[in-house]
Amino acid sequence: MPNRIAVIETPKGTIKFELKESEAPITTKNFIDLAQKGVYNGLTFHRVIRGFMIQGGDPKGDGTGGPGYKIRDEFSPKLKHTKGAVSMANAGPNSGGSQFFITEDPQPHLDGKHSVFGHVIEGQDVVEKIKQGDKMLKVTIQ
């Protein structure tokens, strides 16, 4: 079965990424469940660091929020923080929730610290246009 695709619609355009379901099953299931419940719709990219990453998925919008639970880390030797990696933000080991980030450039120092669960297949140019405070209008799974 082919991997599903997550679609993030923003005012700057659309970002599509492939979900790496076989390499990160817990993390992808968590993201899919949250997206299908509409949790991400209307949330902002609250942290943007040019040349590094854009981060969103916080219901509070300030980097401290989450879904009310934590998931364990998943690390696969196949999944690295290359340009366009989609990865779980965390506050230490096994503390992922709803916040995620997309890399603008390779970030190998994050390998083994954050769970990569997807990779941008369309819209990396949109990633690089996102500014802090831009909204995720809608997040869907195909």
Report pLDDT digits (tens) over 38-80: 999 999 999 999 999 999 999 999 999 999 999 999 999 999 9
Would you say residue 1 has pLDDT above 80?
no
Name the residue among 3, 63, 13, 39 with its Cα closest to residue 139: 39
What's the structural domain count of the chain? 1
pLDDT per residue as tens digits for the range 2-18? 899 999 999 999 999 99
d(CA 37, CA 128): 27
d(CA 47, CA 106): 18
Name the residue among 118, 130, 123, 136 with its Cα closest to residue 4: 118
Write the CATH number for 52.
2.40.100.10
Burial class, 82, CB count within 10 angstroms (exposed 0-12 / middle 13-18 / buried 19+): middle
Q: Which domain holds residue 126?
A: 5-141
- Name the percent of the chain lying above pLDDT 70: 100
State the catalytic residues: 47, 52, 55, 90, 101, 110, 114
Query: Cα-flanking dihedrals φ and ψ of residue 130, to 5°?
Result: -60, 135
